[in-house]
Amino acid sequence: MKRQSRIAVALLAGASLVIAACGGDDGGSTTEAPAGTEAPSTEAPSTEAPEVPTASDVGITESTISIGVAVADLEAVRAMLPGVVPETLTTDHLFDRWKVFMDDINEAGGINGRTIELVRLVWNPLDQTTFDALCAAATVDNELFAVINGTGLSSIARKCIFDAGVPILYGDVMTEAEYATGLAIGLVPPTEVVAAAGAKQWIENTDAPAGSVVGLLANNTPGGTAAGDAAQATLEDAGFVVERADLNSVSGDNAAINEEGATAVGNFVAKGAVHVLVATPFTENTGFWAKAAEANLPFTLLDVSSSGCSPFGLSATGAANAVGSSCTTAFDHSTDGTAIRPDTEFEAACRANFDENFTEYYGGPSSPGVPAGRVLTDINGKVLNSDYTPLECSLSNIIKLGLEAAGVNPTRQSFHDAILNLGDVPLALIGGGTGTFAPDKPFAANAVHVVKVTKAGADTTPDANGLYNGCAAPVNCGVVVSDWTPIAS
């Protein structure tokens, strides 16, 4: 792994944004002392000693900042869902994708002299009994300043951590209630905002008249319920009749949950649903997708669950049945079907960081659009490797900027407040490349757009632009089909 940061440009850019937000040359006139003279000082020299680092809050010592990294037990998921998780995507690798950024910070001198120590917290996404152990590790067994996770951390587990007063910085969707705790920092809009935006997008583009029956597939987790409620309210306000099915996700029985999804299709058809909005995670959708395809029941995905409409989620086993559907999401994708979108300056720095660390691990540099951990070989023998890590890169930059602005002796509150006052921050593969924090906006992204689930595979021949049926890699993907639409904060 490398030992020199490749996101320095991005970090400097973020710092300049913070400086600009705090004031600077506004173009007005100034009054300068005559050349060779100096205005007399009316202030006595400061006699205060510089502030020295102290153990200022939980997880903070004079020399360290302890942060928990929640990573999924992918070995367990791989065993329970064959074909979903590639062999190269391991629990250790998930942790290392965070560690390389914190190593950069530490080797550059840390934050105000403190180094960041990462504590690995592991859970099995398919076994809810492991959520309690994760929560205990985050709140009792270790003294942590905060917990970070890119995607996948269940809203059930998050609630336990929030209830203990531990902040979470998360790369995927959270509910408005979670943001209201004052402990949450996120990259994308709240669950309810994305769900309502997705329902609105469908309403604006459907030929179905008001009064038509629309199916809604949600679940009984806090996030799933919030998403279902927001989508239902939007549909009903527009005059549609909602037939809703809520999967029993808290049961922890993945086979039973998928069977409930398959059963829901029959109920939607019986009620005369003309379309279904899906607000459940891809790990629960296999049964629904397969039965919906058999019944020719059209549906739209709402990106309100972990990795729901990410390249990883859309490439998962069973997602082939989602081809042709659309998804409203705050996450970007690599192509509009005609060309691979070039990286922004920040994205290029994130990619360079990833390639310097993990080219040897994957056997080659990263390739746009390849789902996390995948190594693909196309019909011509070309090898494409896992894309870089946009969530880890974006959040690590925000953590650094927030800690630097939180003072010599940061507290959880001063850290949270500092992030909310960062203003514009660069984002990788999210919201068009830039997000904005504000005192009343604890999430970064400012916009959503629509992608269409598109079929591609190892037998898809690349076109003259190097695309596979519009996809950046030979695997099912999301092709961007709309402009970015601003969302209300």
How much is the average pLDDT of 206-230? 96
* 28: pLDDT strictly greater than 50: no
Residue 41 structure tokens: 């000082």
Question: Quick check: helix, strand or coil at residue 430?
Answer: strand
* 2: pLDDT strictly greater than 80: no
Predicted local confidence at residue 20, as pLDDT:
33
Contact 354, 396 (CB under 8 A): no
Predicted local confidence at residue 45, as pLDDT:
59
Beta-sheet pairing, 184-186 with 168-170: parallel
- Name the strand (E) or helix (H) holding 76: helix 74-80
Residue given tokens 């597939």 in the structure block: 217
Buried b (16+ CB within 10 A) or exposed e, 6-37: bbeebbebbbebbeeeeeeeeeeeeeeeeeee
Predicted local confidence at residue 245, as pLDDT:
97
* 251: pLDDT strictly greater than 90: no
Predicted local confidence at residue 154, as pLDDT:
85
How much is the average pLDDT of 170-195? 97
Contact 104, 7 (CB under 8 A): yes
* 444: pLDDT strictly greater than 70: yes
CA distances from 435 to 193, 346, 441, 456 (A): 16, 12, 10, 31
Predicted local confidence at residue 42, as pLDDT:
57
Percent of the chain scoring above 90 in pLDDT: 77
How much is the average pLDDT of 313-338? 90
Measuring CA to CA, which residue among 446, 487, 436, 419 is closest to residue 148? Answer: 419
Residue 8 structure tokens: 């320095």
Q: How far is residue 59's CA from residue 57's CA, in Å, rounded to a whole number?
A: 6
Residues in the chain: 489
* 34: pLDDT strictly greater than 60: no
Question: Quick check: helix, strand or coil at residue 304?
Answer: coil
Half-sphere exposure of 449 (CA within 13 A, CB side): 21
Q: How far is residue 309's CA from residue 331's CA, in Å, rounded to a whole number?
A: 8
**Among 75-84, 147-156, 367-376, 410-419, the least confident range:** 75-84
Question: For residue range 292-303, what is the model confidence (pLDDT) as tens digits?
Answer: 999 999 999 999
Task: Identify the band that residue 44 occupies on the pLDDT scale cut at 50, 70 and 90.
Answer: low
Q: State whether the Cα torsion 152-157-159-162 is positive or negative.
A: negative
Question: For residue range 253-306, what is the model confidence (pLDDT) as tens digits?
Answer: 888 999 999 999 999 999 999 999 999 988 888 899 999 999 999 999 999 998
Is 483 buried (19+), middle (13-18) or exposed (0-12) by CB count in 10 A? exposed
* 21: pLDDT strictly greater than 60: no
Q: How far is residue 388's CA from residue 48's CA, in Å, rounded to a whole number?
A: 46
Q: How far is residue 256's CA from residue 261's CA, in Å, rounded to a whole number?
A: 9
Predicted local confidence at residue 482, as pLDDT:
96
How much is the average pLDDT of 186-213? 97
Chain mean pLDDT for the chain: 89
Task: Identify the band that residue 82 occupies on the pLDDT scale cut at 50, 70 and 90.
Answer: confident
Task: Identify the band that residue 4 occupies on the pLDDT scale cut at 50, 70 and 90.
Answer: very low
Predicted local confidence at residue 13, as pLDDT:
40
Contact 378, 384 (CB under 8 A): yes
Greater confidence (72 vs 488) lies with 72
How much is the average pLDDT of 217-246? 96
Q: How far is residue 252's CA from residue 282's CA, in Å, rounded to a whole number?
A: 15
